[in-house]
């Protein structure tokens, strides 16, 4: 068919979603738009009103945001020509058959991410004849090496229809995976390159195994508990589920930065430092009507307990469908789980990290000061700092062009609203390397993160006359067993060595002193909204840098029987005399149910003992806390804090503490092979942990790719200590490793949580 006198017009577009989705690893996204990654070619097929002349070019326009402009790099106008993978949008005619032409496009590796509108016209036609073809989404690309501007590689693509389109993509794929993907080791440097000619997308990650884990894995494990008893909790990230990509883009558009200056905000979305910092503020609801509202008081009326969430999908969908009303409620692992979903969805490699014995240093003096009474009970009205049993944050992988290549790699991001930064509750990105080396003056929020893993823990005995006396300083207590999920398995990996040098080593103390000096400089706090100085404490604490002399006795709580929910708790306090003289010790014991932040809820133990210790003698004081003592005050965290203030006859004082987490029981089994599209039975074994009859229990089941939404199963009345089996079926919809979460929910005891990884085969 001949072209009209006005020339050939573009009528519609075929986005070729299967071809592009496979090439860009975006085929899992449950959305109607094409989703591609920046810095990588993608192909579309344009339908025309006639045959395009061989010499005729097409003019394409891509734009993102409501105020797109070429000056801000949020709009690009370009013609089909020689294809370049470089610093600008380019395109080439790949093949032409009759009235259709296949065009390959390439975005620069530092393009703004987000939703784009694509328009096209034959170059011979007037500008106002642009045909709006529809929208596509551009994401960060951890697979993308960029071609250095001085060494741009050009692809000459013939448009005579002789070459098959796949040959073009095969050539690019071969080129792409021959570049620097040779980096060995599971954690190659983000700025390591095979030779000096190449750079990458800022989020480029060399290891394919890590890309699969930190970008494409839609489930994971969050570690909770206490340092000596770490427990794994499954979490459904669900970044490919329905509406999630659209919701993640909406989070960016709802941010205060976008509301105040949308043009500038969108133009900054090429930078993972900027995007991740915005997300860290928007995942919590403080300041900005973000996604999740925090609650740490143990009261969750009008909302959902943080421990009842099993993943991010329900939270994000509730926020979006509720017209951006914050979802109640979250605590640190919920904020981290949601943030991991959002950042993985946008293409930024991200993982969840748990820090045990995590400091919250409110007055920013690199020490956690705890005030206690003569029974070792925390004085809440005096203690501003705190040490949480654990705290969960995120790490994302990208380069730090603002800091230099030494600080590339993993970056700490924390969406839990603890302290304001630049007027908003946001934290990070802070380079993990900078934290390890004590370079806390570098952006962003280095002092706060450094204190979370390095602060000294100091206990003060507060006397009735309002005098205070230092009991001990344990420099090894803060920042223990920093953990994340292993790549490709459910194992726990200890990454403490990435954050700090060995505890008590000369290097570790040198870094601490270095950080303290930088903390005293104005530069360190230029990025924080304020600097508090407690009236009774000073930053000049050189005398606290070295631990005091050891006391003449030692003490330790020992668990005599495994602590199980619904059973009595049996322990012993073991005291030992280290001297050659007899000692008399007054032991004041206290116990309380606590939240995971170690905030006491209710006292359940209060007693005193006088113990005589002969030279070198060791004695044990038995302790029993019955179920009836802790039953009504136990929180969903299932934690109890024991304390013993030991007052030695010659004036020495020793405080011994023990955090206890009560165990529970659930077993999940799949009764047969799991295959896409085929129903398979699941069997769950549960036990009533109580010595009393319970009813109104429910099994809550969830799992991306295993079932749609959540499944609720009523459990028959359970007799005291009864073991019961519950069966149900699932029909997997996606292949690969999938996580099934099963929680036993009861009004009579805290939730009992379990999960199982199910490997789903492709249907034959």
The packing angle between helices 17-24 and 165-176, to 10°, is 10
DSSP letters for 230-265: EEEEEEE--TTSTTHHHHHHHHHHTSHHHHH-HHHH
- What is the maximal distance between C-alpha atoms in the chain? 111
Task: Say which of 144, 248, 332, 697 is annotated catalytic.
Answer: 332
Distance from chain centroid for Cα 584:
50
Nearest-angstrom CA–CA distance, 413 and 684: 36
Whether 512 and 366 have beta carbons less than 8 Å apart is answered as yes
Smallest Cα–Cα separation from 138: which of 225, 249, 52, 53? 249
Task: Say which of 191, 391, 441, 444 is annotated catalytic.
Answer: 391
Tell me the two tokens of residue 615.
């030279």
454 is in an annotated binding site: yes
Tell me the two tokens of residue 676.
């896409």
Nearest-angstrom CA–CA distance, 621 and 658: 14
Smallest Cα–Cα separation from 238: which of 698, 708, 743? 708
Tokens 């969903």 sit on residue: 636
Count of CB atoms within 10 A of residue 665's CB? 15
Nearest-angstrom CA–CA distance, 9 and 715: 64
456 is in an annotated binding site: yes
Tell me the two tokens of residue 266.
């969108």
DSSP3 helix / strand / coil % (the chain, rounded to 5):
20, 40, 45
Smallest Cα–Cα separation from 103: which of 14, 24, 35, 43? 43
Whether 468 and 461 have beta carbons less than 8 Å apart is answered as yes
**Stated length of the chain:** 764
Whether 704 and 646 have beta carbons less than 8 Å apart is answered as no
Tokens 């080129």 sit on residue: 175
Beta-carbon-side half-sphere exposure of residue 622 (alpha carbons within 13 Å)? 5
Nearest-angstrom CA–CA distance, 100 and 94: 11
Task: Let me know if 391 is a catalytic residue.
Answer: yes
Whether 620 and 584 have beta carbons less than 8 Å apart is answered as no
Task: Let me know if 441 is a catalytic residue.
Answer: no
Task: Let me know if 345 is a catalytic residue.
Answer: no
Burial class (CB in 10 A: 0-12, 13-18, 19+), 679: exposed
503 is in an annotated binding site: yes
Task: Say which of 159, 408, 414, 439 is annotated catalytic.
Answer: 414
Nearest-angstrom CA–CA distance, 346 and 112: 12
Whether 666 and 688 have beta carbons less than 8 Å apart is answered as no
Exposure letters 163-193 (e unless 16+ CB within 10 A, then b): eebeebbeebeeebeebbbeeeeebbebbbb
Count of CB atoms within 10 A of residue 36's CB? 26
Residue 130 is classified by DSSP as: P
What residues are labeled active site?
332, 391, 414
Binding-site residues: 454, 456, 503, 508
Binding-site residues for Ca(2+): 454, 456, 503, 508
């Amino acid at each position: 068919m001949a072209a009209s006198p006005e020339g050939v017009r573009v009528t519609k577009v075929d986005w070729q979603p299967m071809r592009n989705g496979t090439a860009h690893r975006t085929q899992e996204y449950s959305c109607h738009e094409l989703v591609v990654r920046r810095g990588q070619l993608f192909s579309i097929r344009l339908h025309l009103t006639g045959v395009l002349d061989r010499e005729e070019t097409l003019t394409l326009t891509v734009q993102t945001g409501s105020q797109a402009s070429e000056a801000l790099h949020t709009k690009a106008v370009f013609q089909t020509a020689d294809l370049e993978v470089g610093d600008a949008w380019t395109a080439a005619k790949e093949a032409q058959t009759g009235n259709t032409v296949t065009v390959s496009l390439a975005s620069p590796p530092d393009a703004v991410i987000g939703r784009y509108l694509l328009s096209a016209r034959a170059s011979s036609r007037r500008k106002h004849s642009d045909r709006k073809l529809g929208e596509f989404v551009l994401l960060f690309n951890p697979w993308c090496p960029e071609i250095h501007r001085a060494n741009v590689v050009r692809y000459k693509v013939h448009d005579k229809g002789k070459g098959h389109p796949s040959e073009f993509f095969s050539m690019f794929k071969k080129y792409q995976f021959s570049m620097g993907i040779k980096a060995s080791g599971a954690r190659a440097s983000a700025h390591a390159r095979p030779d000096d000619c190449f750079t990458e997308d800022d989020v480029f990650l060399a290891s394919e195994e890590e890309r699969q884990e930190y970008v494409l894995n839609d489930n994971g494990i969050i570690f909770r508990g206490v340092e000596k008893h770490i427990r794994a909790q499954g979490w459904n990230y669900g970044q490919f589920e329905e509406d999630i990509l659209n919701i993640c883009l909406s989070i960016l558009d709802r941010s205060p930065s976008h509301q105040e200056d949308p043009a500038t905000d969108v133009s900054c979305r090429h930078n993972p430092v900027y995007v991740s910092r915005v997300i860290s503020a928007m995942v919590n609801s403080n300041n900005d009507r973000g996604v999740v509202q925090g609650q740490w008081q143990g009261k969750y009326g009008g909302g959902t307990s943080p421990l009842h969430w099993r993943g991010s999908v329900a939270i994000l969908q509730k926020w979006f469908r509720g017209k951006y009303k914050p979802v109640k409620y979250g605590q640190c692992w919920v904020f981290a789980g949601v943030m991991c979903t959002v950042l993985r969805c946008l293409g930024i490699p991200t993982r969840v990290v748990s820090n045990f014995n995590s400091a919250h240093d409110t007055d920013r003096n690199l020490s956690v000061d705890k005030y206690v009474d003569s029974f070792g009970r925390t004085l809440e009205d005096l203690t501003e700092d705190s040490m949480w049993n654990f705290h969960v944050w995120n790490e994302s992988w990208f380069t730090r062009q603002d800091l230099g290549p030494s600080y590339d790699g993993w970056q700490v991001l924390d969406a839990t609203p603890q302290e304001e930064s630049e007027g908003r509750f946001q934290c990070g990105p802070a380079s993990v390397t900078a934290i390890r080396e004590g370079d806390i003056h570098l952006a962003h929020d280095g002092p706060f993160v450094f204190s979370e893993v390095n602060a000294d823990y100091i206990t003060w005995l507060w006397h009735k006359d309002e005098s205070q006396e230092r009991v001990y300083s344990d420099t090894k207590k803060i920042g223990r067993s920093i953990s994340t999920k292993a790549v490709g398995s459910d194992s726990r990996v200890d990454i403490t060595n990435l954050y700090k040098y060995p505890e008590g080593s000369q290097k570790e103390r040198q870094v601490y002193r270095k950080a303290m000096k930088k903390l005293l400089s104005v530069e360190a706090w230029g990025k924080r909204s304020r600097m508090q100085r407690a009236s009774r404490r000073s930053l000049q604490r050189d005398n606290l840098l070295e631990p005091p002399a050891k006391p003449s006795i030692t003490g330790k709580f020992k668990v005599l029987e495994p602590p199980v929910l619904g059973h009595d708790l049996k322990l012993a306090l073991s005291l030992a005399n280290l001297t050659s003289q007899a000692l008399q010790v007054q032991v004041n014991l206290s116990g309380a149910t606590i939240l995971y932040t170690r905030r006491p809820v209710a006292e359940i133990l209060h007693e005193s003992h006088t113990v005589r210790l002969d030279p070198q003698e060791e004695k044990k004081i038995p302790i029993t806390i019955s179920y009836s003592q802790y039953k009504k005050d136990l929180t969903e965290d299932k934690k109890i804090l024991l304390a013993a203030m030991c007052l030695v006859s010659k004036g020495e004082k020793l405080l011994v503490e023990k955090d206890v987490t009560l165990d529970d029981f659930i077993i999940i089994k799949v009764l047969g092979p799991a295959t896409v599209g085929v129903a398979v039975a699941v069997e769950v074994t549960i036990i009533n942990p109580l010595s009393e009859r319970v009813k109104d229990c429910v099994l809550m089941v969830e799992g991306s790719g295993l079932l749609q939404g959540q499944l609720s199963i009523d459990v028959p009345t359970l007799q005291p200590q009864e073991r019961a089996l519950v069966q149900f079926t699932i029909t997997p919809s996606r292949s690969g490793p999938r996580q099934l979460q099963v929680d036993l929910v009861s009004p009579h005891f805290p939730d009992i949580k379990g999960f199982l990884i199910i490997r789903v085969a492709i249907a034959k």
